[in-house]
Chains A and B, each alone.
Chain A
Amino acid sequence: MHFKIFALLVLIARFGLVQEDKPTVKNPFAGDAKAVESGRLQFRMACAGCHGLRATGGRSGPDLTRGTFAAGNTEADLYRVISDGVPGTEMPAFTSRLQDDERWRLASYINSLSPHDNVPIPGDPDSGERLFWEKGGCGQCHRIGTRGSSLGPNLSRIGRQRSLDYLRESIVSPDAEVTSGYATVTVVTRDGKKITGVERGFDNFSAQLMDLSNRYYSFQKDNVASIQREYRSLMPSNYVRLFSARELDDLLAFLAGLGGGER
């Protein structure tokens, strides 16, 4: 037992040494305004596709303007994530795509983004969680962890993926920006039956969709009267009336706290 503890201490000590030996633990451009500007440009080319041009979150990447990050908040943490990527997420490693100094300049830029979301969120997340599953019935379409349905976007990490403003807009005006791959598809069959659902596939000759009861359909365009894809959401637009202002804050507090871990 004692030996095991000793061995563990040795390991910790050695690990610590290895950490100290790493040559790039401090940003060589720390405090350099030019590096921030250069990083901003680099960001537009390399990162904006997923994180948005203003780093507020985009197609798949998290909002980077909140001042807190899943993998640590220092510039060295940012540099490490940019370099190595984040296993288990869509974040790729940039070691082979960007030079060392470019990655540091990116870290400088991301660190410079003033956190606009770090005012305390006024709502009560526990109340928000109850509203999500019960009054809102959000789980009929959305999944968090292992609970809920997969018709709409998976919200397990949504607090890390989207800004508070974006989340509020998504609840109040679901049609404002429909998540890619979640358009509404309406099919009218030759005998006049109308089927509406969430897009699961859409090409020049066929469409696949899932209706609100989670039933899956596939249609060849030649065999139906019409197939239409629209950028509107099947999410109800009445949440702004269903929830009081306080309840909306509670719901937002709950969603903003979702980072993929246990709650």
Chain B
Amino acid sequence: MGLVFAQVNSSDWRTYGHNSLGWRYSELAQIDTRNVSRLSTAWIYQTGLPGGFETTPLVFDGLMFIAGPSNNSWALDALTGRPIWHSHTTPPNKLNLCCGQVNRGFATRGDKLFRVNIEGTLVALDAKSGTTLWQTPIADYKQGYSATAAPLVVKNLVVTGIAGAEFGTRGFIDAYDADTGKRIWRFNTVPGEGERGSDTWSGDSWKRGGASTWITGTYDPELNLIFWGTGNPGPDMDGDVRRGDNLYSCSVVALDADTGELKWYYQFTPHDVHDWDAISDPVLADLTIENRKVKALMQANRNGFFYTLDRTNGKVLKAKAYTEVSWTEGIGADGRPILTKGQEPTEEGKLACPGLGGGHNWQATAYSPRTGLYYFPTSENCQLFYKTKQEFTEGEWYQASNVEGPPNSHGTGAILAVDPTTAATKWRFDMVSTPTAGILATAGGLVFTGDRQGYLIAFDDRTGKVLWKFQTGGAIVSPPISYALEGKQYIEVAAGGSILTFTLK
């Protein structure tokens, strides 16, 4: 890539996606394809929590910072795993959550750490002590909001998303002053009355429109644009009460970093009725497609398609299904999907592919400039979708209604390596169940991921051959990361309720 903004201090891990482009590519190459078979545990820290660690830790100044579930945070000595500080606040009793009290990590600027608490507050902590420096409420949990995403630091701003699209909330992306916690701008992902796009919602359905923003976006300093994916419209499976395209749900939005102003959007799934959020990492890279250099944005969308977009304008460059898809014949020249009739949920249940969890869900992805490949986990999991009429009550579950798998079936999955210039799959590693962990790529020619049954796995980045594996003893629902300390490269992963690191012995 060669651009200044792609470079980071390779020994540290200072932001959710390792660089602001979301690559999750470590430049460290001490651990490589030839010696990875000698990878051994360096240390294990047991947090005492049962599990659910979706976090990407940050590592700098010799410390590893873990933003854990249920408003727990730790600083661990990155060399030994010994705990240096622990901070915890008790969440309110009556939270409205779709998916547990999870958290996906810290952001940092200077000596401050930033995280969201599950009840919808943004908190700044002192990195050296864990002391709270400021906290700002960003949404009201009683209305069904919650917060789980790692924030993104852009210049002096802390940018954060929100969760709660299963509770009839209205999504947004916020930016706060890193020094004071004061809100600088808000972009509502569902336009209000009179705003552009409001005519894509029937009646007053926009008020409960969802389009949450629960996975961290990316930032291109040259364009000064923030890219962020948006979630499903609400209620998830009853589209009758929200006729229209339901902008800007299931979209990626490009926002001016200083003002939050919308520069462009692309809606992957207009009028979604299958809960196919478009929140997956919007990863940025400069590619050569058909002999033309393009500033690209790639996403493995939950609707089963892999997309490469032009990130200067949102135009679709490549779009190809990477898993079984029943809802569309393909993506038209105008970027709009050509729908297959009769795929909407019904009271009796309608089988559609992919299932509710989608082809690729939220799990962190990796782009390797070494191979030019994009790595992500995918599910093969068709499901019966049920629609049920439901009256809206503030703060209550508003999904209307549910899914189930057909008898004698269960979801399987794979790790895919896709060439973003063609959208073609280069290799796949089949998995016996739907994937749960994120991905790390390294300059050592390795791709790391975990699985539901507790294996941490290292692949050859060009072939997908398994070169090493380790049974951690707990489900891995986090992405691995890498850092270096005192001349040694480490691989870290959270598994069950433990933090594990590995190095060459």
Which residue numbers of A lie inside 8 Å of B, CB to CB?
38, 40-41, 44-45, 48, 52-53, 96, 175-178, 180, 202-205, 229, 231
Q: Is chain A's binding surface mostly helix, strand, loop or mixed?
A: loop
Closest to B166 in A: A45
Partner of A205, one of B349, B400, B469: B469
B291 within 8 A of A: no
In the complex, identify which listed stretch (B46-54, B187-195, B244-252, B449-457) lies at the interface while the others stay far away.
B449-457
How distant is the Cα of A203 from the Cα of B412 in the complex, in angstroms? 11
B390 within 8 A of A: yes
CB <8 Å contact, B453 and A45: no
CB <8 Å contact, A45 and B401: yes
B129 within 8 A of A: no
* Distance from A67 Cβ to chain B, minimum over Cβ atoms (Å): 24
CB <8 Å contact, A178 and B408: yes
How distant is the Cα of A180 from the Cα of B411 in the complex, in angstroms? 12
B399 within 8 A of A: yes
17 of the cross-chain contacts (CB-CB < 8 Å) are A38-B391, A41-B388, A44-B401, A45-B397, A48-B404, A52-B404, A53-B402, A176-B407, A177-B407, A177-B408, A180-B410, A202-B432, A203-B432, A204-B431, A204-B451, A205-B469, A229-B432
| Other A-B pairs beyond A45-B399, A45-B402, 15, CB < 8 Å | A41-B388, A44-B386, A44-B401, A53-B349, A53-B386, A53-B402, A178-B408, A180-B410, A203-B432, A203-B451, A203-B455, A204-B431, A204-B451, A205-B455, A229-B432
Query: What mask results when residues 466 to 494 of chain B are scored 1 for a CB within 8 Å of chain A, else 0?
Result: 00010000000000000000000000000
* Distance from B387 Cβ to chain A, minimum over Cβ atoms (Å): 10
B409 within 8 A of A: yes
> Top 4 nearest A-B pairs by Cβ distance?
A231-B408, A203-B453, A177-B407, A44-B402
Q: Which residues of A contact B409 (CB under 8 A)?
A: 231
How distant is the Cα of A203 from the Cα of B386 in the complex, in angstroms? 30
Most chain A CB within a 10 A radius of its CB, from B386, B391, B402, B469? B402
How distant is the Cα of A188 from the Cα of B404 in the complex, in angstroms? 33
How distant is the Cα of A44 from the Cα of B385 in the complex, in angstroms? 12
CB <8 Å contact, B407 and A204: no
* Distance from A164 Cβ to chain B, minimum over Cβ atoms (Å): 18
Q: Which residues of A contact B93 (CB under 8 A)?
A: 96
* Distance from B178 Cβ to chain A, minimum over Cβ atoms (Å): 36
Q: Among residues 429 to 460 in chain B, which have CB atoms less than 8 Å away from a CB atom of chain A?
A: 431-432, 451, 453, 455, 457
Partner of A41, one of B390, B431, B432, B457: B390
Q: Which residues of A contact B401 (CB under 8 A)?
A: 41, 44-45
Q: Which residues of B contact A177 (CB under 8 A)?
A: 407-408
Q: Which residues of B contact A175 (CB under 8 A)?
A: 408
Q: Which residues of B contact A203 (CB under 8 A)?
A: 432, 451, 453, 455
Q: Which residues of B contact A202 (CB under 8 A)?
A: 432
Q: Which residues of A contact B431 (CB under 8 A)?
A: 204
How distant is the Cα of A228 from the Cα of B71 in the complex, in angstroms? 43
* Distance from A182 Cβ to chain B, minimum over Cβ atoms (Å): 11
How distant is the Cα of A203 from the Cα of B451 in the complex, in angstroms? 9
CB <8 Å contact, B455 and A48: no
* Distance from A113 Cβ to chain B, minimum over Cβ atoms (Å): 16
How distant is the Cα of A180 from the Cα of B408 in the complex, in angstroms? 8
* Distance from A180 Cβ to chain B, minimum over Cβ atoms (Å): 8
* Distance from A36 Cβ to chain B, minimum over Cβ atoms (Å): 13
* Distance from A98 Cβ to chain B, minimum over Cβ atoms (Å): 10
How distant is the Cα of A175 from the Cα of B455 in the complex, in angstroms? 31
Closest to A227 in B: B432
Q: Which residues of B contact A176 (CB under 8 A)?
A: 407-408
Closest to A222 in B: B466
CB <8 Å contact, A53 and B407: no
CB <8 Å contact, A204 and B455: yes
Q: Which residues of B contact A96 (CB under 8 A)?
A: 93
* Distance from A220 Cβ to chain B, minimum over Cβ atoms (Å): 11
CB <8 Å contact, A204 and B457: yes
